Amino acid sequence: MLAQQGYTTYATMRNLSKQDALLKLAKEAGVKIKLKALDVQDSASVQNCVNEILAEAGGIDLLVNNAGAGFVRTTEQATEAEIQWVLDVNFMGVVRCTKAVIAHMREKRSGYIINVTSVGGLVGQPFNEFYCGAKFAVEGYTESLASYVQPKFGINFTCVEPGGITTEFANSVFSQLHSTGGMLEDEYKPILQQYIGAAQARRAAQGDAGVFQTAEQVAQVIVDCANNPQPPIRVRTSAWAENFCQLKTGLDPDGRKLQALVLKNVLGE
């Protein structure tokens, strides 16, 4: 969709052997995209990719941090290695990619970084404490950058906050759950069954359209932000997500009031 808007678009993935499906979709859409290998958990991989793009394109105007992984486990059940993995993919991946491009954007006094977070970055939810914790961290990281890098160096920042999306994300979460022992026989099991049952009931009552969005719908929000000369600090991507986060975002839906308040109280502006 960004390529259709005229952007020279680089898509990245850990394993380039999986690129054929993406290239086919781009061809069907009548656009060209460029593929690069990038692993958000590997600083050298991130920096090498960014260096290649800077050498080829001469600059980077927009970074979309979209890599993420869900995780369903309680604090008692999760191993430290699992916790580190969730935080590394969802938070440190954003930091590594941002760190790799931000000096270039600062030097030219322009740029835009969009971080795809989640309603789970605003509202903590059962069995998702580590995923939500990582997404909360991205929200705080983005807000902090927007409080001084944006006004001083002309770099915009936005958190895009989807609810459920009809991709392989949810399937990957439950595959990960099953691969690490499934539902454990403890006091949390009936609560987890209640959690899964409630999700299935919502889907049955409202249908996919009432709860879930397509990837294309979320991508359209990202494109709209990219084309906005004064983009929001944060934006939900559906009516369901907006309603779910209403108590957290109702007084300041786009985050600009809080940004102004921080500038006034902390930097005296």
Question: Is 41:15 a contact under the CB 8 Å cutoff?
Answer: no
Q: Cα 92–232–65 angle (5° rounding)? A: 25
Amino acid 128: pLDDT:
93
Question: Is 54:110 a contact under the CB 8 Å cutoff?
Answer: no
DSSP secondary-structure letter at 90?
I
Interval 248-256 mean pLDDT: 97
Residue 193 — pLDDT band, cuts 50, 70, 90?
confident
Interval 203-224 mean pLDDT: 82
- Among 10, 112, 131, 141, the active-site one is 131
Is 112 annotated as catalytic?
no
Q: Cα 125–143–213 angle (5° rounding)? A: 50
Q: How far is residue 138's CA from residue 98's CA, in Å, rounded to a whole number?
A: 11
Q: Which fold has domain 60-182+209-266?
A: Rossmann fold (3.40.50)
Q: Please, what is the angle between helix 129-153 and helix 80-87, to 10°?
A: 30
DSSP secondary-structure letter at 234?
E
Amino acid 208: pLDDT:
60
Residue-wise pLDDT tens digits, 127-185? 999 999 999 999 999 999 999 999 999 999 999 999 988 755 555 666 667 666 667 78
115: left (phi over 0), alpha (psi -120 to 50) or beta: beta
Question: Is 114:64 a contact under the CB 8 Å cutoff?
Answer: yes
Closest CA to 244 of 154, 132, 150, 161: 161
Interval 33-41 mean pLDDT: 97
Which residue ranges make up each domain of the chain? 60-182+209-266
Question: Is 233:157 a contact under the CB 8 Å cutoff?
Answer: yes
